[in-house]
Amino acid sequence: IDRDMQTVTLIPGDGIGPEISAAVMKIFEAAKAPIRWEERNVTAIKGPGGRWMIPPDAKESMDRSKIGLKGPLKTPIAAGHPSMNLLLRKTFDLYANVRPCVSIEGYKTPYTDVNLVTIRENTEGEYSGIEHVIVDGVVQSIKLITEEASRRIAEYAFEYARNNQRNSVTAVHKANIMRMSDGLFLRKCREVAENYKDIKFTEMYLDTVCLNMVQDPTQFDVLVMPNLYGDILSDLCAGLIGGLGVTPSGNIGANGVAIFESVHGTAPDIAGMDLANPTALLLSAVMMLRHMGLHDHGNKIQAACFDTIRDKKVLTKDLGGNSKCSEFTDEICRRVKDLE
Amino acid sequence: MILCVCVLQPPPARYGGRHTVTLIPGDGIGPELANHVRELFRFCCVPVDFEVVNVDSTMASEDDINNAIMAIRRNGVALKGNIETNHNLPPSYKSRNNLLRTTLDLYANVMHCQSLPGVRTRHRNIDIMIIRENTEGEYSSLEHENVPGVVECLKIITRTKSLRIADYAFRMAREKGRRQVTAVHKANIMKLGDGLFLECCKEVASGYPEINFDSMIVDNTTMQLVSRPQQFDVMVMPNLYGNVVSNVCAGLVGGPGLVPGANYGEDYAVFETGTRNTGKSIANRNTANPTAMLLASCLLLDHLKLHAYASMIRRAILTTVTETRLHTADLGGQGSTSEVVQSIMNAVQSTGPRTLSI
């Protein structure tokens, strides 16, 4: 066993998942990245006691490797078990969802020079799932904000900013209206900011962020926020750079676990037809390499991917071309080898 | 059973055909913009008298805002600037703006975002009407700390209010000849709350067969708005998503200085800028864009059925907005607020009606 090889748990997923995972593995091989893939399936099974859980071999692999790469998972309808993404989140306490949004030169959108990161608290907030029908026709949904979760996400945001040479962290909130809950979140961010004097800390209302984001996204750097605002803003920012097909995403958990994933759907209509665009999963894999400290390989693969897109000669359909997934993949492999 | 909501009647004009309107200047750029409205109305001989009610946002007591609310009950209609909320104060200090909206039950916030010629933006041909539930949802101000460090904030969705806002949206769509109403929600996660909202929208939609109804999840909505905003027509949604979507749309058509907003209730109507900004950092510098507030005053005039005045002033405002050399800083220009207002008055004068001499 090559001692330099690091193990990564690979979850290909459903629909176009297997083909884009294969594309990523091929590109990694071309780049000679020191990664050994361990493929696992995470379809929920019923454990002892009747509770739904991910298969034990998948959990064991993740606990050992600590790093995962995941393709899209289909949303179960009438399958009896909850969403797999939710199950993964709970199993590994994936508390931070990180999405770097960088404009891709060569894939034109009305917005250029976007370079920001959204860091979203992913365990509580508006998605606590606690809802009640009080009386017929009156529903109450509970938004939960705790000191612990707010402190943890704030700390992650500042650590991320420091480790990735970012200049400022902005807390996004609506404490004018939700004084106690967002107020608590804000207070924790302020407290953590005290320990990171090298990073500039600002606060901004959610509506002001939205208003300014669509007019001038270059003014934003790292954004940290509770669950719902994070959900909305991270998708808004993905829209600025071209959508979910080109946006990477990472989920950071407790105990050093990190799972990187593409956030687009399974695209069942084109599954198995060699038409898929592996960019999102590839860029998530690049994020993963950087997380693991393998910056050289990460930069090389990213450069090859962006060069291919910029060149416009070999592009998948969603990027405006008419090449196959395999052709796009081979082109990136070729460039990666040239960059040696 | 859908509530029968009657068409809102403006208060009858008393005292020789003149209307009295409550004016709340607010904070930041509010006072200077309120003055420009008065200046313009005086110049155009608009038969409106303003009853000014100041609300001091630094006072802990709610007397000021209660006076304002009473004045609005008296006059039936108001024009308002944004009142600052210091979010570092304890929860006992409630947002004055929110208090006003909920006490007067101004349940529908309406914002019409349109691309304006002469204003350079990344997207063209936007024409979206946003109807936002204005009194419940996440803005119910019901929060408690169960144990230290654990806070719950309640989002309330009721069948009554959801039906009411959906009905408002569809009636407005029918009145204005719009083709499509899109409900914005997150019912995949908030199954009961947003699920109820969506159900109510579907129920109301069945009574308007000529209008297409569809729904979209809020995160996808924002993504679609920044890539292809032209696909949207009328959008209806609960309070918080309304906050997000209206700010995104305002940004898409040129910013907070351009879009007016209206808050309608059963008995009262309050007009303000669409995105409700205080503009603290640019206050008293004569650089604020008066367009949004002046267009809001035109909505006010339409509400009072003073359509001739409304159209005249609106035409003059839109003529001025296309004049790029007069653009204020928010539009990338160097014009001052007073230059813009002066130009609007000139435009009004040149169309010929009786006005005060400048």
Contacts of B87 in chain A (CB under 8 A): 175-176, 179, 182-183, 186
pLDDT band at A1 (very low <50, low <70, confident <90, very high): very low
Q: Do A131 and B193 touch (CB under 8 A)?
A: yes
The residue of chain B nearest to residue A136, with distances taken between CA atoms, is B159
Which of B:30-59 have CB within 8 Å of A? none
Class for the domain spanning A1-104+242-339? alpha beta
- Confidence at residue B1, expressed as pLDDT on a 0 to 100 scale: 42
Q: What is the pLDDT of residue B358?
A: 45
pLDDT at residue B11, rounded to an integer: 65
Structure confidence at residue B8 (pLDDT) = 60
Segment A275-308, tens digit of pLDDT: 999 999 999 999 999 999 999 999 999 999 999 9
Query: What are the residue ranges spanned by the domains of chain B?
Result: 16-85+93-118+257-349, 122-253
Contact state of B227 with A243 under an 8 Å Cβ cutoff: yes
- pLDDT tens series, chain B, 358 aa: 444 444 566 666 667 789 999 999 999 999 999 999 999 999 999 999 999 999 999 999 999 999 999 999 999 999 999 999 999 999 999 999 999 999 999 999 999 999 998 899 999 999 999 999 999 999 988 999 999 999 999 999 999 999 999 999 999 999 999 999 999 999 988 999 999 999 999 999 999 999 999 999 999 999 999 999 999 999 999 999 999 999 999 999 999 999 999 999 999 999 999 999 999 999 999 999 999 999 999 999 999 999 999 999 999 999 999 877 899 999 999 999 999 999 999 999 998 666 665 4
Domain boundaries, chain A: 1-104+242-339, 110-241
Kindly report the nearest CA distance between residue A120 and chain B, in angstroms.
14
The rounded percent of chain A whose pLDDT value lies above 70 is: 97
pLDDT at B6: 42
Q: Between chains, do A144 and B152 touch, taking CB under 8 Å as contact?
A: yes
Q: Residue A136: which H helix or E strand, with range? A: none
CATH number of this structure's domain B122-253, picked from the four choices 3.40.50.300, 3.30.420.40, 3.40.718.10, 3.40.640.10: 3.40.718.10
Residues of chain B with Cβ-Cβ distance to A132 below 8 Å are 192
Q: What is the mean pLDDT of residues A251-258?
A: 94
| B273 touching chain A per CB within 8 A | no
Q: ∠ CA(A64), CA(A67), CA(A70), 5° rounding?
A: 120
* Contact present, B170 and B208 (Cβ < 8 Å): yes
**Does the domain formed by A110-241 have CATH 3.40.50.2000?**
no
| Averaged pLDDT score across all residues of chain A | 94
pLDDT over 60 (residue A78): yes
- When computed from its CA atoms, the radius of gyration of chain B, rounded to whole angstroms, is 20
Inter-chain contact B151–A181, Cβ cutoff 8 Å?
yes
Q: What is the pLDDT of residue B29?
A: 97
Domains A1-104+242-339 and A110-241 share a fold: yes
Q: How far is A201 from chain B (nearest CA, A)?
A: 16
Q: pLDDT of A125-138, one tens digit each?
A: 998 889 999 999 99
Give, to the nearest 10 degrees, the angle between helix B307-321 and helix B291-303: 160
**Rounded Cα distance, B204 and B223, in Å:** 27
Same CATH fold assignment for domains B16-85+93-118+257-349 and B122-253: yes
d(CA B219, nearest CA chain A) in Å: 5
Nearest by CB: A131 against B144, B192, B222: B192
Among the listed residues A338, A333, A311, the one whose alpha carbon sits nearest the alpha carbon of residue A106: A311
Distance between first and last Cα of chain A: 24
Among A23-32, A75-84, A223-232, the range scoring the smallest mean pLDDT is A75-84
pLDDT for res B319:
93
Residue A27 and residue A326 in contact, taking contact as beta carbons nearer than 8 Å: no
Q: How much is the pLDDT for A79?
A: 65
Looking at the DSSP assignment, which residues form a beta bridge with residue A223? A118, A170
Smallest CA–CA distance, residue A110 to chain B, in Å, is: 6
Question: What is the third-level CATH fold of B16-85+93-118+257-349?
Answer: Isopropylmalate Dehydrogenase (3.40.718)
- The partner residues of A77 in beta bridges, in order of sequence, read none
Q: Which of residues 57-96 of B touch A (CB under 8 A)?
A: 85, 87-91, 93, 95
User: Helix count (H) and strand count (E) of chain A?
Assistant: 10, 14
